[in-house]
């Protein structure tokens, strides 16, 4: 373990990281613990004069070129598209509520000072429920939906681990991209992101379709349980490219979160389902606020060999092929 000195708006802190095994994401979590600046809002600088570092959470800490004992500076990046989180927690209301309303009309909140929402009918709105940006956002969002408690994110990770362990045919080493036992131990780590595999396991466990709507493209991805396990319900996640949030139904946008409905009856298997229509409108509002990150298309340059790279995927592949782990953004 080696020290790093952090200067941030609240003062100066020192913490220790294992430079041989830590990732950039581990550093971001240490910064978050010291400064309360979420990872996606962190602008990290080092050197003299200080220059902004290009951070890719899954790359090793060495990709930043930091040395033990070095001082780093972090400020909160101004993001005009930020949406402030509401009070955590919700509860699922009876699924008999009707959604036979006309196509929903989007109503954006003034100047991004509250959660984005879309009116579905005179008595309900679909609200963007933001969860912490702490690498467990997928699990926190699902915990909010099914447990009404984002603090049960680790329980969701355990459900995924158990589901993978019990279904060796579906979740084999080839599908997982690594030995099953290693994947299971990795996904139980709070700093590791979840994705399509995890959503599939959770949909199967809860017998509920999990629908993910991509903010940038409006694409809808559905993770469905087997027919024999399906309860005929769905829930909605909003995906920004690097972050998952939940979308819940509320009588009015500023109603207490405990009044929210988090699981909805499937009214149509097509995209004309009223909740999906509202979800697409919600994604449009967030897209207009630029509340997304395209990690697949931003341009990077290897600072060791000068090779140009496109997105996180190429950067990770280049690092594995060459051992080069210092990247800068064009």
Residues 143 and 260 in one domain: yes
Residue 139 maps to a domain: yes
List the Cα angle 111/35/64 in 5-degree steps. Answer: 100
pLDDT at 294 (0 to 100): 62
Task: Give the span between the Cα atoms of 61 and 325, in whole angstroms.
Answer: 9
Please check whether residue 82 is in contact with residue 255, taking contact to mean a CB–CB distance below 8 angstroms.
no
Half-sphere exposure of 169 (CA within 13 A, CB side): 0
Task: Give the span between the Cα atoms of 225 and 238, in whole angstroms.
Answer: 19
Annotated catalytic residue 243: yes
pLDDT at 82 (0 to 100): 32
Residue 251 maps to a domain: yes
Is-above-0.75 flag for pTM? Answer: no
Annotated catalytic residue 137: yes
Q: What is the pLDDT of residues 123-141, one digit of tens each?
A: 788 999 999 888 899 999 9
**Mean pLDDT across the stretch 57-85?**
71
Give the domain extent around 261: 105-288
pLDDT at 239 (0 to 100): 93
Q: Output the domain CATH number for residue 279.
A: 3.90.70.80
Residues 135 and 252 in one domain: yes
Residue 100 maps to a domain: no
pLDDT at 284 (0 to 100): 92
99 has a pLDDT exceeding 70:
no
Residues 57 and 36 in one domain: yes
107 pLDDT band (50/70/90 cuts)? very low
Annotated catalytic residue 181: no
Whole-number percent of the chain with pLDDT over 70: 82
109 pLDDT band (50/70/90 cuts)? very low
Residue 89 maps to a domain: no
Single out the catalytic residue among 8, 128, 243, 318.
243
Q: What is the pLDDT of residues 16-41, one digit of tens each?
A: 888 888 888 889 888 888 888 888 77
Q: What does DSSP assign to residue 270?
A: S
Annotated catalytic residue 41: no
- Strands (DSSP E) contained in 93-216 are 105-107, 117-121, 124-129, 209-214
Residues 310 and 279 in one domain: no
The residue with greater pLDDT, 88 or 130, is 130
Residues 72 and 138 in one domain: no
Task: Give the span between the Cα atoms of 126 and 253, in whole angstroms.
Answer: 8
Single out the catalytic residue among 133, 134, 245, 273.
134
Q: How many domains, in total, are found in the chain?
A: 3
Residue 140 maps to a domain: yes
Residues 200 and 247 in one domain: yes
pLDDT at 236 (0 to 100): 97
Residues 251 and 317 in one domain: no
């Amino acid at each position: 373990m080696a020290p790093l000195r952090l200067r941030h708006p609240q003062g100066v802190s020192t913490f220790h990281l294992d430079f041989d095994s830590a990732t950039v994401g581990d550093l971001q979590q240490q910064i978050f613990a010291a400064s309360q600046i979420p990872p996606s809002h962190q602008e990290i600088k080092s050197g003299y004069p200080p220059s902004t570092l290009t951070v890719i959470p899954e790359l090793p800490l060495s990709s930043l070129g930091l040395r033990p004992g070095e001082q780093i500076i972090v400020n909160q990046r101004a993001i005009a598209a930020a949406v402030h989180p509401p009070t955590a927690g919700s509860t699922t209301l009876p699924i008999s509520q009707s959604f036979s309303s006309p196509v929903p009309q989007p109503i954006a909140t003034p100047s991004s000072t509250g959660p984005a929402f879309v009116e579905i009918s005179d008595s309900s709105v679909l609200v963007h429920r933001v969860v912490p940006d702490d690498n467990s956002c997928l699990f926190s969002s699902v915990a909010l939906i099914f447990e009404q408690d984002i603090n049960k994110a680790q329980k969701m990770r355990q459900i995924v681990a158990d589901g993978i362990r019990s279904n060796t045919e579906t979740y084999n080493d080839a599908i997982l991209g690594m030995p099953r036992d290693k994947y299971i131990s990795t996904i139980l780590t709070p700093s590791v992101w979840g994705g399509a595999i995890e959503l599939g396991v959770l949909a199967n466990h809860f017998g509920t379709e999990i629908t993910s709507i991509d903010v940038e493209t409006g694409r809808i991805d559905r993770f469905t349980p087997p027919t024999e396990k399906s309860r005929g319900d769905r829930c909605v996640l909003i995906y920004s490219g690097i972050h998952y949030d939940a979308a819940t139904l509320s009588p009015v946008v500023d109603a207490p979160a405990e009044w929210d409905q988090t699981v909805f009856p499937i009214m149509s298997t097509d995209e004309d389902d009223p909740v999906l229509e509202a979800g697409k409108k919600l994604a449009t509002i967030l897209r207009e606020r630029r509340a997304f990150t395209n990690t697949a298309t931003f341009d990077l340059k290897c600072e060791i060999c000068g090779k140009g790279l496109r997105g996180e995927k190429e950067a990770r592949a280049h690092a594995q092929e060459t051992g080069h782990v210092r990247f800068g953004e064009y």
